[in-house]
């Protein structure tokens, strides 16, 4: 029997209120389906499964209405095709004779799938459908998940078990699990998945060879049914690793020919293959720098190989020298992506997209938005988030990330004056980009509940919904997810909503203060270690000494990073008085006695937030206890244990961080609390 944890937000629980259920039965009991749409198409199959479960009936499928009220499904025609595109849909109710016709029109097969899931979302929330008039399509072309799965079955930065795609160097035989993942992804509008780690090992490189492509094609078949294209991460040195060449120089004719032949072979097996995801010249990954070439040389060579088949190259901008000497305060990792890529604006082929992390560092609990957004007007760009909680509790702590992503999307770059929001860069509208979109590191594995922490499912759901429509609020998305996952009980909705919406601030409170970031244990990135990041042999990221803390990234006295933003933002970030409190230590080295806009000193803020954060984490447990008996025992017990661990760990964070800064500064807590 499939567990509630496994079903995630596709619960399809029976509607117990008789009047509501009967109203839906009257409207949905007869599905009118034209001959050109198969009754076995994934969208129709999903609809029938949900109707059986929620309404307790077997819907009648026919080409003509058999009841006064009915549900008609159709493909777009005429002007609707242009209006909806292939992924849009319209759901509209209209009066017909003695009944109501509810019509779903899909712009294409993907539009049908998305429309069905939207309707089922409304039904699950017990919303009336008799007067619906909804017309939707996604704001961006590419809405993607990046799996960091390895062929041996492990997942880099994976906190929910093993890979669902691989076992022992081969594609897994359990494609039913991949199919269920595709359903979850499609239900929130995902249309692309790269199925292997961006740190591509030799074993994964073999997946672009004829020996293993037939197995990869089986995965593509499963994803395709739900409107999802398959992508592969590739190793830039693949011509050497599996091609038998002596070089991977992108300007070498033999290398170019090898990639062209490889692309053709891939498309022979997977005609709708999406393209390549590439991490190059960063963290010891091979790339064009080895041969004295630049990123445009490398990306364009791959783009030429894919262009005849309509494929794209997604080139990650996470490029920095991880061996640089951090003790040199003019050296700044935050500058790296901007410095590498802005000189190349306009040099990339039109089927290359630069994938840019939301911040300039590495998915910290708080960072400014990457200044690359708004800096490159002639280059396709997409935004990268991290759904898996690498630096935000690793899905052992509750940290609902949609508010963080929403804040980044709503940031005004001022690239073309006021209103030049990051979301307009990512959706392509600000600069008229040919290709654009979003990507995120996935948080799923083969745990029964998919995400390790049941409440972490909200991040996967929320990512899909937010990039479909960035105007949705974090609160709206949380409400949708809770209703679909746990039902419509008001107390359950209110409690879990309150927990989710406060959790990002709670996690920030007991971890890294004021935007300074890091302070995590090396390599595994879980738990407090103030000076312990991987490259601590070169110093720390926070530069704390007896007098103050923070990184000077100003133009006059620091690394100059603040000047990478457009003038209005550069002025704010470059001034310690104007800089927002939550980012102060990212941009400025200040005394512990520096007074924040809140009125507190930096050192008192550190003490207060860490005490508050530990209390808030403890309160999460108490809020959850109130739901005992209102949620099934399996999910209730699992979350209770996760929250217990979080509360204990938050106290550890509090004590280690506060003790460190008390001993460093010598300044006691103004409230007289014990700090050892």
> Would you please indicate which residues are annotated as catalytic (active-site) residues?
283, 362, 390
Exposed, middle or buried: residue 19 (CB in 10 Å: 0-12, 13-18, 19+)? exposed
Contacts of 183 (CB under 8 A, 6+ apart): 10, 46, 226
Q: Which residues pair with 92 in a beta bridge?
A: 103, 133
> What letter does residue 322 receive in the DSSP assignment?
T
Contacts of 603 (CB under 8 A, 6+ apart): 592, 593, 661, 665, 667
Q: Cβ distance 208 to 311 under 8 Å?
A: no
* Tokens coding 122: 């409304």
Give me the phi and psi of 72, to 5 degrees please.
-105, 135
Q: Cβ distance 457 to 10 under 8 Å?
A: no
Q: Cβ distance 448 to 6 under 8 Å?
A: yes
Q: Cβ distance 157 to 524 under 8 Å?
A: no
Q: Cβ distance 602 to 514 under 8 Å?
A: yes
Contacts of 217 (CB under 8 A, 6+ apart): 269, 270
Report DSSP letters for 464-525, one per residue: HHHHH-TTS-HHHHHHHHHHHHH-S-HHHHHHHHHHHHHHHHHHHHHSS-TT----B-TTT-
Distance CA 512, CA 526 (A): 12
Spatial CA neighbour of 129 closest among 77, 55, 189? 55
* Tokens coding 575: 């001034």
Q: Cβ distance 140 to 436 under 8 Å?
A: yes
3-state secondary structure (DSSP) of residue 167: strand
Q: Cβ distance 205 to 197 under 8 Å?
A: no
Size of the chain, expressed as the number of residues it contains? 676
Distance CA 385, CA 12 (A): 29
Q: Cβ distance 186 to 228 under 8 Å?
A: yes
Place of tokens 């919904």: 465
Distance CA 220, CA 270 (A): 7
Cβ atoms within 10 A of the Cβ of 155, count?
Answer: 26
Cβ atoms within 10 A of the Cβ of 473, count?
Answer: 12
Cβ atoms within 10 A of the Cβ of 175, count?
Answer: 16
């Amino acid at each position: 029997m499939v567990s509630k944890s496994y079903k995630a937000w596709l619960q399809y629980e029976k509607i117990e209120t008789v009047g509501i259920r009967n109203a839906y039965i009257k409207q949905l009991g007869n599905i009118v389906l034209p001959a050109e749409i198969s009754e076995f198409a994934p969208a129709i199959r999903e609809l029938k499964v949900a109707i059986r479960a929620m309404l307790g009936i077997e819907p009648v499928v026919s080409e003509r209405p058999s009841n006064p009220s009915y549900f008609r499904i159709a493909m777009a025609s005429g002007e609707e095709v242009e209006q909806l595109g292939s992924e849009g849909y319209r759901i509209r109710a209209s009066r017909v004779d003695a009944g109501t016709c509810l019509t779903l029109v899909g712009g294409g097969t993907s539009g049908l799938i998305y429309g069905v899931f939207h309707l089922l979302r409304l039904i699950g929330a017990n919303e009336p459908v008799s007067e619906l008039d909804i017309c939707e399509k996604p704001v961006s072309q590419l809405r993607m998940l990046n799996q960091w799965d390895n062929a041996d079955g492990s997942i880099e930065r994976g906190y929910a078990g093993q890979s669902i795609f691989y076992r022992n160097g081969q594609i897994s035989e359990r494609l039913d699990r991949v199919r269920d993942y595709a359903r979850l992804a499609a239900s929130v509008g995902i249309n692309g998945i790269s199925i292997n780690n961006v740190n591509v090992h030799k074993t994964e490189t073999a997946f672009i060879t004829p020996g293993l492509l037939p197995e990869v094609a089986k995965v593509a078949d499963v994803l395709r049914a739900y409107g999802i294209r398959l992508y592969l991460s590739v190793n830039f040195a693949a011509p050497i690793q599996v091609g038998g060449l002596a070089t991977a120089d992108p300007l070498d004719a033999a290398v170019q020919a090898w990639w062209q032949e490889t692309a053709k072979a891939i498309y022979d097996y997977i005609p709708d293959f999406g393209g390549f995801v590439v991490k190059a010249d960063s963290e010891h990954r091979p790339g064009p720098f080895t041969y004295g070439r630049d990123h445009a040389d490398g990306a364009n060579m791959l783009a030429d190989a894919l262009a005849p088949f309509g494929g794209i190259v997604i080139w990650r901008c996470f490029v920095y020298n991880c061996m640089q000497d951090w003790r040199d305060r003019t050296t700044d990792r935050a500058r790296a992506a901007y410095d590498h890529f802005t000189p190349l604006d306009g040099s990339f082929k039109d089927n290359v997209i630069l994938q840019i992390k939301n911040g300039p560092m590495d998915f910290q609990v708080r960072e400014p938005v990457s200044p690359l957004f708004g800096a490159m007007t002639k280059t396709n760009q997409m935004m990268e988030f991290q759904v898996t909680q690498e630096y935000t509790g690793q899905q052992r702590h509750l940290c609902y990330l949609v508010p963080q992503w929403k804040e980044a999307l709503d940031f005004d770059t001022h690239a073309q004056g006021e209103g030049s929001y990051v979301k307009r860069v990512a959706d392509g509208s600000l600069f008229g980009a040919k290709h654009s979109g979003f990507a995120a590191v996935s948080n799923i594995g083969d745990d029964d509940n998919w995400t390790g922490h049941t409440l972490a499912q909200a991040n996967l759901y929320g990512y899909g919904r937010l990039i479909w429509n960035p105007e949705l609020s974090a609160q709206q998305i949380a409400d949708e997810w809770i209703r679909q996952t746990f039902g419509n009980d008001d107390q359950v909705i209110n409690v879990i909503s309150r927990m989710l919406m406060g959790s990002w601030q709670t996690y920030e409170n007991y971890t890294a203060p004021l935007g300074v970031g890091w302070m995590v244990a090396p390599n595994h990135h879980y738990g407090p270690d103030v000076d312990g990041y991987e490259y601590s042999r070169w110093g720390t990221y926070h530069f704390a000494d007896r007098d103050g803390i923070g990184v000077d990234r100003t133009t006059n006295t620091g690394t100059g990073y603040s000047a990478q933003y457009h003038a209005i933002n550069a002025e704010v970030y470059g001034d310690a008085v104007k800089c927002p409190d939550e980012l102060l230590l990212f941009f400025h080295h200040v005394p512990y006695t520096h007074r924040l806009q809140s009125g507190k000193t930096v050192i008192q803020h550190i003490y207060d937030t860490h005490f508050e954060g530990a209390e808030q984490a403890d309160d999460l447990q108490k809020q959850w206890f109130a739901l005992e008996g209102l949620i099934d025992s399996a999910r209730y017990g699992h979350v209770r244990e996760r929250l217990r661990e979080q509360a204990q760990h938050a106290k550890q964070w509090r004590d280690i961080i506060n003790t460190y800064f008390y001993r460093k500064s010598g300044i006691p807590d103004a409230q007289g609390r014990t700090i050892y």
